[in-house]
Amino acid sequence: MIEKGDVELKQCGRESLERKGQGLMIGALVCWETGCDGQEKSGRRVVLYAVSGNNKELKAAVSLEKLFTEKSIFVPSIVSSEKIEAALEENDFKIHQLTDQINKLTLVNKYSTERQTLITERTALTDASLRKVFSLYEFIRFDGKKISLNAIINRHNGHLPPTGTGDCCAPKLLSYAFAHGLEPVSMDEVYYGRDTAHKKNGTSYTPCDERCGYILPDILGLEILYRDSDLVIVNKPGGLLSVPGKGEEKQDCVETRLRKLFPEAPAQPAVHRLDMETSGILIMALNKKTHIAMNEEFASGLVHKKYIALLDGILRGKPEGHTELPFRLDTENRPHQIYDAENGKLGITEWKKVGVEKLSCSTTGEVKQVTRIEFSPLTGRTHQLRLAASCPVELGGLGLPIVGDSLYGHCENGQRLMLHAAEITFRHPTSGKEMHIVCNTDF
């Protein structure tokens, strides 16, 4: 339609010399409209369109009703180019001055103290400008609530994302859909422009890792590692329940969030669980047939998992081994599990020592030595890995609790459980293909 002149890429802001002539991404998000009560579909599809960046926008030569057979909407930028330019104006001249000075010194001695000082000064000004721009951005989440880019930055421990974060197609489209009660169904992004080393005109690409990967998990409520018509595999954050608990305050969980994104999923889509404090790979079924097949695969021991953990201290002795420990629920101190050689269920775990490293406590600043270890559970008992680590050596455990374990060890204020489901291998229930999913830990 752009080539035919039915749709125009209208310039709506100043284009930098660096960006002049470069291509952009055009995204489309197919949605369903919901009814007035937000529950029932109206049966009408809505297609949202957006372009990347904030200095171009889609504009139709005629009404959209004449161009498209179904309801279509051109989604604007979240923040206008005028507001961004105003936010950058304060430091812009000084940053360019410093850049000119740095370039001159580079020709003389690029290792000079003066040049390094100027680079430090420019970096501080650039970061200040970025923060000012990022403070303008606000998105609508999967649950209809607002979240600012600043809040997302805080969740990333203050690490700033690249320039242009928030201007990609995916966050624009999803934020608009959630703001207007639309149910996202499918999305595609296509590169439009002259070919580059990394992109070809007319080719579809997934949302970028450096910008979209930074903010989409907060907009969607989940970080999706893999998805097809049968399965969704997510990276569950520590502190979020896998399935709902008892009481209103325990309804927010992976299952609840998934069903907001995929309403057709079974009422209980999780095919296995992770402890609330544990992060990492969690598989969810999108239909009952897949749910049954995956349950059978787990029950047959055909699913292989690997976890990464940090043990609170130095693990001495052999570099690898396995534990076989009988545990049961402590009915007087739920959800604790206790060692019971007579009535306990056996939990079998293979382990491998990765190495010893130093860990700094984020609240106290205390530095201590910890052992990084790889766990491969052969059974699926409650708190199995936490118990394999913390159980005394004389009973067959490793004798060192996992760092941040509030049940079987010690947890500093604000500290997380250092246990992450990092890998899973299984057979796809429909295709039969071997699936190997990896999700690196953030510790």
Count CB-CB contacts under 10 A for residue 210.
11
* Among the listed residues 25, 69, 32, the one whose alpha carbon sits nearest the alpha carbon of residue 49: 25
Q: How far is CA 105 from CA 100, 118, 271, in A?
A: 9, 10, 60
Distance CA 28, CA 48 (A): 5
Distance CA 150, CA 167 (A): 15
Q: Is 153 helix (H, G, I), strand (E, B) or coil?
A: helix
The answer to whether 399 touches 393, Cβ cutoff 8 Å, is: yes
Q: Which residues contact residue 113 at a Cβ distance below 8 angstroms, ignoring those fewer than 6 apart?
A: none
Residue 100 annotated to the active site: no
Structure tokens at 58: 């889609």
Q: How far is CA 60 from CA 50, 72, 374, in A?
A: 13, 11, 56
Phi, psi of 333 (to 5 degrees): -150, 60
Which residues on adjacent β-strands are paired with residue 8? Answer: 59
* Among the listed residues 267, 30, 257, the one whose alpha carbon sits nearest the alpha carbon of residue 144: 257
Annotated catalytic residue, options 100, 167, 218, 275 = 275
Structure tokens at 31: 């949605």
Residues identified as active-site: 275
